[in-house]
Amino acid sequence: MFSTFDFDVIARSWQYLFFEGMKFTLTLTAFATLGGLIAGTILALMRLSGIKPLEWFATFYTTLFRSLPLVLVIFWFYFLLPYIGAWATGASRPMQVGALNSALITFTLFEAAYFAEIMRAGIQSIPKGQSAAGYALGLSYWQVMGGIVLPQAFRNMIPVILTQTIVLFQDTSLVYVLSLTDFLGAASKIAQRDGRLVEMYLFAALVYFVISFALSQLVKVLQDRVAIVR
């Protein structure tokens, strides 16, 4: 049955697929992971701060974003962000945000909710005695967090963080709704240009699988490697 297939289409388009499409996918994944991790850690600290308004905000934020489909949030921000921006800056016309910036902001905010829960679990996995020992030495809250709790929490959570990043890597393909050219978007365009839908989607699936599988193997290796000996 493969006799009618034309896999030559890949050879003709691989530069576009990887240097345009995959580059965008990886950039968005990296940006949202890093931004989401920083914002998520702050949210986790807020949620565990014991200060009610901060707790409420963080709980509301994480619950809200974890309860909405990502596609909906992407649309939402794409159409709303220009107006929010205009309102915030006092401009009379909607801001020009652009599909790319909109995607970066959306994914970062969305991932922050997930990373917040991961970091919260990570922080709670560190025995209370560790921070008590830090305080007993005269360290401040931020010194205890920055020097003792977060480094351990982060290390404990690396496998989970990486797993979430794999999910994110796949989810970035949803930017097709904004007509952005990520890897799947690029494959899709080539497929339709050359009328080679089956070949292209098979190839795209294979690439996603190989990368995700390789990363998940890395998770397994890391699980043993980064564990802190107690």
Partner 1 sequence: MPMIEIKNISKAYGSFKVLTNCTTSVEKGDVVVVCGPSGSGKSTLIKTVNGLEPFQSGDIVVDGISLSDNATNLNKLRSRVGMVFQNFELFPHLSIMDNLCLAQQKVLGRDRAASEAKGLALLTRVGLTEQAAKFPGQLSGGQQQRVAIARALAMDPICMLFDEPTSALDPEMVNEVLDVMVALAKDGMTMMVVTHEMGFARKVADRVIFMDRGEIVEDAKKDDFFGKPRSERAQQFLSKILQH
Interacting residue ranges for partner 1, rule: CB under 8 A: 127, 129-130, 132-140, 143, 147-148, 151-152, 155, 228-230
Q: Given the complex with partner 1, which of 121 and 202 has the nearer CB atom?
A: 121
Question: Minimal CA–CA distance to 28: which of 79, 122, 102?
Answer: 102
Distance between CA atoms of 93 and 58, rounded to whole angstroms? 31
Q: Given the complex with partner 1, which of 23 and 155 has the nearer CB atom?
A: 155
Write down how long the chain is: 230
Write down the least CB distance from residue 134 to partner 1, Å: 8
Write down the least CB distance from residue 119 to partner 1, Å: 16
Q: Given the complex with partner 1, which of 69 and 129 has the nearer CB atom?
A: 129
Q: Given the complex with partner 1, which of 88 and 136 has the nearer CB atom?
A: 136
The answer to whether 176 and 188 have CB atoms below 8 angstroms apart is: yes
- Give me the DSSP letters along 107-131: HHHHHHHHHHHHHHHHHHTS-HHHH
Q: Given the complex with partner 1, which of 139 and 202 has the nearer CB atom?
A: 139
Q: Given the complex with partner 1, which of 101 and 152 has the nearer CB atom?
A: 152
Write down the least CB distance from residue 116 to partner 1, Å: 22
Q: How far is CA 190 from CA 15, 53, 105, 187, in A?
A: 12, 50, 28, 5
**Terminal-to-terminal C-alpha distance of the chain:** 57
Q: Could you count the other beta carbons within 10 Å of the beta carbon of residue 72?
A: 10
Write down the least CB distance from residue 137 to partner 1, Å: 4
Half-sphere exposure of residue 193: CA atoms within 13 angstroms, side-chain side: 10
Write down the least CB distance from residue 147 to partner 1, Å: 6
Write down the least CB distance from residue 127 to partner 1, Å: 7
Residue indicated by tokens 């107006």:
83
